[in-house]
Chain A
């Protein structure tokens, strides 16, 4: 168990709030600035504690690869939210110049090597980065983030097998939010259907598998930190199942041009009519939960927490303003970067 000092706990809270506020501003953009976000956008609200807790466990030089639900990670790693929002708005000053959009953020200088928009396909890529880290021999560790749906892909099984066989320095962070789009995990996962956690999959690959409350950043941190230490020591990979509940629908409405894009209700409500589940998840929202805990424990005074909230709101307002003011890329820039 790692001891996190108060400054680190407040740091965690600030970053959780930053992710939440950023995602709220993305979501609000559909109403406030219709048309500026195109295609498909996926939000991390509900997963803040898991993201921040995981990233609090790594150090300079470590690397991550993630899924298309990717806005939160770079915010924690130090990427400017202005550049992220501008990317999501398709602008010239976007993190990737408007070439990638919401699903394809990357910031290699900060260790964020990229994403795959195809479910499960980032897992072998993270494993390959871990192979590179092993050869480089400088003690780097890779975190590979993916969802519950991805564990049904062959890419998952193939990668965990090799990672364990080669004792690669990687932690597989399985963010289980109980839904693959609109399919509940019990409908598609044999372990879940049998009432077992998804972390039991690790057994098939002779590596440790643990399940953690992904709504508690300290527990996530401690669990991932143990796995990171194991990876850094050369003992090999760990599968960490982090139980999260995404508080928004899978993504914005998939609709043909002409239909205004927006976020529908969460699938628990919209598809399954299970308002009770969704309301319970909202009552258990990790962001206010962590704030309450820090205040109760005397780590954070309420006015200090409010102050952080005001700062974060201001920061994300500036990100929206920046993104709106950024010009679109020149159309013929579309032919740049096809080949190196």
Chain B
């Protein structure tokens, strides 16, 4: 049975269900569980649900230690940028431990962080910094675009025996969608085809999935049939599904809210160039944020971000159809 839930409620439902299922799952972080009325405190008590000080290095480092000692912490980090304060623990501790021990330990933890809050939050709270974590062997990176995926990917993240960066998009927070009830898992490394089409493949993540679908709808009116692929996790990355789509369409537009050289698109483009070159009938085109810090003022913010019109323009470009003035 599915019913409609907002994206954020779907995430919370997954955490709640996993905490009920497995009492080694912990949930802590800043500005949660500050009163007895907190739903997690009421359900699971203060041993497993705690508010922490503003101490990201300790929060994430403690998650590593608790994971080494047999628990599955979910750390509430609020904003992806706050992970930067504790970059050593994220990049150079959590994902290295299992490897350096020769497989003697595991570090199952989830770093839950919102990103991409491009609603006037200016330069330090709006970044789409997920791709920098895909280059770290040992880390997994999930980017849910729908409420159902938000639930299913969070549940999978909690059950995974590796450290997982779970990046939820702030502009999707209240987006409603059909969400299955009860246990619901979305496997990592399996892309979703959001729209089937034969003319062009659009690969998009997070908030950009909606933009890509809107662009596809507009293009359909011009007789262009776009396929929209959402990787859902970028580490592991479902390259096979992307390549199969490219083999069918021969044309690719990669959409990413991150800046061009810090994007998942750049990684996907390289995979397509190496493994899908013979399928391509035009150069791979990327629609990413422009290489700037996100500006505060609305027209400038809109200028640097990918949007429906930019995606439509890029599709016309790869298909060689005349741009509309």
Contacts and interface: CB of A to CB of B under 8 A. Distances in A.
Interface stretch (B88-96, B142-150, B288-296, B298-306): B88-96
Given A124-B57, A124-B60, A159-B61, A338 B99 contact: yes
A145 to B, nearest CB: 13
B66 interface: yes
A70 to B, nearest CB: 12
Interface in B45-59: 47-48, 50, 52-53, 55, 57-59
A168 to B, nearest CB: 9
A52 B26 CA distance: 34
Contacts of A44: none
Interface string A80-95: 0000000000000011
B88 A118 contact: yes
Contacts of B106: 340
Contacts of A98: 102
B101 A104 contact: yes
B58 to A, nearest CB: 4
A236 interface: no
Most B Cβ at <10 Å: residue of A63, A94, A162: A162
Interface stretch (B67-75, B127-135, B269-277, B313-321): B67-75
Nearest to A123: B61
Given A113-B68, A131-B65, A337-B99, A118 B93 contact: yes
A126 B124 CA distance: 31
Most B Cβ at <10 Å: residue of A124, A133, A336, A338: A124
Contacts of A113: 65, 68-69, 105
Given A129-B65, A135-B48, A106 B101 contact: yes
A96 interface: yes
A223 interface: no
A100 B61 CA distance: 19
A132 B66 contact: yes
A124 B68 contact: no
Contacts of B101: 96, 99-100, 104, 106, 108, 114, 337
B66 A129 contact: yes
B125 interface: no
B62 interface: yes
A309 interface: no
A155 interface: yes
A159 B103 CA distance: 27
Given A98-B102, A338-B137, A339-B138, A132 B60 contact: no
Interface in A119-161: 121, 123-136, 154-155, 158-159, 161
A89 to B, nearest CB: 14
Nearest to B48: A135
A132 to B, nearest CB: 4
B3 interface: no
How many B residues touch the partner, as a band?
35 or more
Contacts of A106: 100-101, 104-105
B215 to A, nearest CB: 35
Given A63-B69, A132-B70, A338-B137, A162 B47 contact: no
B61 A132 contact: no
A311 to B, nearest CB: 29
Nearest to A168: B62
Interface string A301-332: 00000000000000000000000000000000
A337 B100 CA distance: 8
A114 B68 contact: yes
B71 A337 contact: no
Contacts of B65: 65, 113, 124-132
A127 B70 contact: no
Contacts of A136: 69-70
A97 interface: yes
A73 to B, nearest CB: 15
B89 A121 contact: yes
Nearest to B65: A128
Nearest to B64: A125
B62 A125 contact: yes
A154 B57 contact: yes
B236 to A, nearest CB: 8
B92 A118 contact: yes
A165 interface: yes
Contacts of A124: 57-62, 64-65, 89
Most B Cβ at <10 Å: residue of A106, A128, A136, A161: A128
Given A162-B52, A165-B53, 11 more contacts: A65-B68, A99-B100, A100-B102, A113-B69, A125-B65, A129-B65, A131-B66, A135-B26, A154-B57, A338-B99, A339-B140
27 contacts: A94-B102, A99-B100, A100-B100, A113-B65, A121-B61, A124-B58, A124-B64, A124-B65, A125-B61, A125-B64, A125-B93, A128-B68, A129-B65, A129-B68, A131-B62, A132-B69, A132-B71, A135-B47, A135-B71, A136-B69, A158-B55, A159-B55, A162-B53, A339-B138, A339-B162, A340-B103, A340-B160
Task: List the 10 closest pairs (A to B, CB-CB), nearest first.
Answer: A124-B61, A128-B65, A128-B62, A97-B102, A340-B161, A158-B58, A132-B69, A125-B65, A158-B55, A96-B102
